[in-house]
Every structure is written in structure tokens, then in C-alpha cells.
Structure 1
Amino acid sequence: MSTATDTSTEVTRADICVVAVAECFRGDGEIIGSPMGTVPTIGARLARATFEPDLVLSNGESLFFEGTHRLGARPDEFAAVGWIPYRQVLDVLASGRRHVMMGPVQIDAHGNANISAIGDWAKPKRQVLGSRGGPGNTINHTTSYWIPKHSARVLTAAVDMVSCIGYDRAAQVGKAARFHEVRRVVTNLGVLDFESVNGAPATMRIASVHPGATVDEIVANTGFELIVPADVPETRLPSDEELRLIREVLDPRGMRLREVPA
């Protein structure tokens, strides 16, 4: 899929997904951004390089860095401006000053996500990453998700294991979940967010559809009922400067195209 900007520069679906991910971090200010995976990393770095300059990013380990770096840069290429030990990361995330973007293998209508195992817990069919920091992340600070292939197998009516809590479970926890926010789910078809109807726990809603995709396509590939507004906008295209940063600075090798083919 490709479309065109006003300058007739072709824009791929992967470019649009990167911008949609970057928009997840808009307004965050000076907090730790923790993108996991190819498109989330490019998107977070794009946000920091453009409209969210105070976003704090690490090199994937314990060093914070300044500047704009390509995906896959060596550790010695980063200009380190700070260091944070693992213990202090836990202190920061517990205060709500972090926004993580993860990739679930399953997610339901309320944003409960599975990153651990597929199938019955006693004898799973497949083991994946494991819950790791998922429970603490989702109860203590903002979380978004990236799904490179939108399908009903991933966006499913019920997850096999709750590794990351959604709005229904957060409501049951009460005050302990005061920093809980599942902000957005970005997929190769569109952007989803959450809306509460009549005071009920928030459920997933179509926020925008990527150019070249359709609302019907999103609905057909989702395993639960989505909130569908009467007027669903298109996801915005990257500006010329954003496109230059994506292609020439952040991802000159085109790694994003492996996750979202053109």
C-alpha cells in the first residue's frame, strides 16, 4: 500500500504506522518512554525528535541518551546523558512517570493483554515472552500496544492469560491502579483507543483508520465488538520532515518494512 503527500512523495503503510506510534507519546513530557520492538522504537524516537523533545529515552539498557539515532546504532554511538540502575527504574514506574509500548500476542476489548502463553495454562500450546514486567507496567503507568498484523487471533474475545491488566480489572483494584492507562493500540490497519460508556469500564474504540484500510476491514479482523464512531477519521500522514527523519535518519535500512510490508 502506498499513498502520496502534497509533494507526491510516496508514503508506505509502515511510515504511517510509525507516525501513529509517535502520536501515542504526544503530551507525555519529561517521562521515560520505553518502546519495545522495531516500529515502536522508531516511533518514539520520531516523537522525541519532533513534537515531544522532553521524552526521556534509553539505549535499551541503563543509559539515557540525547540526539536522534538510527535503529540498530551501536552502544558507543549514543551520547549518554544519564544512567539509571534497575532498582530506580522500579521506583520511577511506580510513580506513573513512564510510558511503555509492548507487543501483545492477545488483547481483549478492555485492554487485558497476554504476553505469556497460548492455550490452557496447565499445558499451553506455545510459550512466548512471559509476563515479566507486564503486571507492574500496566497497573503503575501508561501503556500502549503495537500489533503489526491486525487479526481476530490477536484482538480476541478472551485472552488465555492476563499478563497485563485492562480497564475492567483496573476498576476492581481501585486506588492502587490510579496511574493505570491503556492509551492506544496501533495496528497495521488503524489506531484504537478506549471509551467508557455509561460509566462502565472502558472498551476498545476505532480512533482512526490508516489510508488504504477500511473500518469494515478492522471490524472483520477483530474478535470482539468495537465501538465504531459515526465518523472515523483517517490516520494522519507523516510530514515531509517526519518522512525524511524516518527514512534518512531513524531507519535508513528500512527495518520497519519487515514488520509492515509496503
Structure 2
Amino acid sequence: MKIAKKKSKYLLVALFVFILSFPLWIKHIPTRYVPFLICNFSTKVGGESMNSLIAPGSLLELNRCFEESDLTKGTVVLFNDNSNLQLGIIRHVLPLDPIVYKISDEKAPRLLHDVIKEEITAITNKVDTSASKYLAEQETESFILDSSVFLTDFYLAKIPRGSGIETSTVKKANSFSRQEDKFCSVIVPKKNLTAVDTEITNTETQKTVSQGSDIILNASTNPNINCMDFGVGPGMLNLAPGTYRYRFLMSHQVLADVQFEVRN
């Protein structure tokens, strides 16, 4: 009897973990292997953001199982905007890495959001968007940012471990010792920048191991230098020996990309 109870307990725990992790793994399975009932769902449209293409209060059928090739101009999508889900239409597809989608609704069609695939929850191709209020006034290529407009310089550097930039000379570097160096990024912006993101990716696994978001850079404070010791404590950079890429981004677009090495 006790064994049966234990098995039931483990099954309940496994089911709970399965339900929690469902949104994470479902997108990594090719759509042809995913049952129709799992992929498709309906939602009632609230508000008037998509009026008159989608009437308020109507029932909209959406598909949460989609490929990158399904995300084309004119597709209606449900996307994550600052932790809020909202409907919009793909207006432009920027051929970058990652691909960036310019999305807006019908209430403010010129207010374009920069979105990547991971921020799109579901899509539908059952809405005719040919009568949209949006008029393309710019070519798609014009939305691609030119780093020279925003940055004078960007590079990685180091100072001795445990020291500060006030008492040390910042030396440009692409190879760092965990035991001896402090990791620094040096940014020289041409103008004040807001909503800047940074990410460090392992070149072997392609996994992002460190991120910074909504960073503000002041052009009057040049250069902007940020340094961190290697380690596992608060404010430290926890990187194992290996090769990495440091990316500087705005609106999901990469303005600078530097490869570097970490040693013991």
C-alpha cells in the first residue's frame, strides 16, 4: 500500500513538472509532430486595438505551434510586450540574426514594436489584413540600425583582479584570466542611449550565459566603462574557461559583436 502511495505521489509530481514546463518545450518540437488540440486554441478579443480587422468581443483562433517561415508580413500574432500579451500584425521582417519583426496594431499602426520569435506566443493566418490602416512609408532595410550612428568605439578590456578603474590602467584585451583579471567592457557612445541590452554567449553551446537589459549610457561620460571580477558572487561574472561572444544590442539588433577567451 505504501509503495502504491509513493508511486502516485511521484506521478503527481511528474505531472506537475510537465505542466509547468509545457510552454518551454512545445516550441522546440517540429509542428508536424504536435497534435492539433495542443497547438490550436481560441481567445476572446478584448479592446479595440485591432478594430476594424478584428471586431472587439469576437473569438479568434490562434496557433501556438509555428515555424520561423510562418512569420511573414501581414501575419497576425499574439506577442509579449513588457510581460503583457497583445495582438499585432507583422509589418516588416528584418533579415538579421536573430530575425527582428516590426509589429503594430490597428489603433496605433505607426507605433512599431521590435520583436523576435521567442517573444511571439501564437499566430493566425485566418485574418485578412489587406485593408489595414498601416501604410509602409519606409523600406524594410531602412529599419536596420547602423552602429556608426550610435557608437564611436566598443571593445573589451581588463584591469587587475580586485582593483578599480580609478587606480588601474584599462588595457584592451580579448583573453582573460579568471584568477588575475577583471573583465571590462568599454563603450564610447555618440549620443545618449537608452534601452541598451548586452549578452554573453558560449560559442560552443550557443547558450546565453549572461545578460544585461535596459542599460542607459550617457554620452557625456566617455568612455562608459563597466568592470566585473570573475566568480559566483553578486555582481561577478560567472564564466567557465572557454570561448564566448559579447554582443551589444539595441531593439534586438546587434551593434557590436566581440569574441573573447576565458582562461583559469
Q: Which TM-score bucket, shorter chain as reference?
A: under 0.3
TM-score w.r.t. length of structure 1: 0.23
Relative contact order higher in (CA < 8 Å, ≥ 6 apart): 1
Give 1 or 2 for the bigger CA radius of gyration: 2
More helix per residue = 1
Q: Which has the higher strand share?
A: 2
TM-score w.r.t. the length of structure 2 is 0.23
